[in-house]
Amino acid sequence: MIHSVRFTCVLDTNVIYPIEIRDLLFWFAHYELFTPKWSTHIFYEWEDVMTRKGVPEGVMNKRTAAVSSAFPDALVANYESLIDGLELKDMKDRHVLAAAIKVNANVIVTNNLKDFPKEYLAKFGLVAKSPDDFLADIIDLNHDKAVEAFRKLVLNRTNPDLDEYEVLDNFRNNGLTDTANYLHSLI
């Protein structure tokens, strides 16, 4: 079995922006079910998405500061020199792969699986997983801690205040069907 803290994952922007996905990923990371990583590029993309979605600058700054404070070792440094040597269909995704290679990650968590070909990633000892597959795998590794992290997420949620089943429904509505069903079966 994988020792979860050493299970390192680069989180793509498209799994950090949707709040339901981000919250569960970050609570699982807080409970040391995996180690999150991201690049400066990913953070800039996250800020850009928040700006385009109309998130006020103060809220955006609070979110990025809270994440940086909660996971001070998550920011990958010195990956930029790897970018130009990588071959991906979407050139904008090379920084994600470069960051994953730099930290010897196990997984890239992304909603853009088609942009990260299995065969190419295998050359670097990597796989790409959707957030739903990744989170379900994490739950499978440690049921008790996953449920504890999920319950803490629910308790800390205030806007709006939802119960466990409503949060699970939100997960399902955001593409985390297997994750929600797995957690539902455990609570």
155: β partners: none
Q: What is the C-alpha to C-alpha distance for residues 163 and 154, in angstroms, rounded to an integer? A: 7
Query: Does residue 160 have a cis peptide bond before it, meaning omega lies within 30 degrees of 0?
Result: yes
Roughly how many angstroms between the first and final C-alpha of the chain, as a whole number? 23
Domain count, the chain: 1
pLDDT for the residue 135: 96
Using the predicted structure, report yes or no on whether residue 41 has a pLDDT greater than 50: yes
Torsions phi, psi of 138, nearest 5? -65, -40
Mean pLDDT throughout 48-70?
Answer: 91
pLDDT digits (tens, 9 = 90+) for 135-186: 999 999 899 999 999 999 998 887 778 889 999 999 999 999 999 999 999 9
pLDDT for the residue 161: 80
Q: What is the CATH number of the domain that holds 33?
A: 3.40.50.1010
- In the predicted model, what is the mean pLDDT of the chain? 91
Structural domain including 31 reads 4-186
Mean pLDDT throughout 81-86?
Answer: 93
> Which H or E run contains 11?
strand 8-11
pLDDT-derived band at 3, boundaries 50, 70, 90: very low
Q: Which of 125, 95, 131 is nearest to 113 (CA)?
A: 131
pLDDT for the residue 4: 53
SS (H, E, C) 86-142: CCCCCHHHHHHHHHHHHCCCCEEECCCHHHCCHHHHHCCCCEEECHHHHHHHHHHHC
pLDDT for the residue 90: 84
Is 80 in contact with 96 (CB distance < 8 Å)?
no
> Which H or E run contains 29?
helix 19-30
Q: What is the C-alpha to C-alpha distance for residues 179 and 187, in angstroms, rounded to an integer? A: 13
Mean pLDDT throughout 111-124?
Answer: 94
pLDDT for the residue 17: 86
Q: What is the C-alpha to C-alpha distance for residues 24 and 80, in angstroms, rounded to an integer? A: 29
Using the predicted structure, report yes or no on whether residue 2 has a pLDDT greater than 90: no
Residue with tokens 């399902």: 172
pLDDT for the residue 170: 92
- Cβ neighbours for 104, distance < 8 A, ≥ 6 positions apart: 8, 125
pLDDT-derived band at 5, boundaries 50, 70, 90: low
pLDDT-derived band at 1, boundaries 50, 70, 90: very low
Using the predicted structure, report yes or no on whether residue 129 has a pLDDT greater than 90: yes
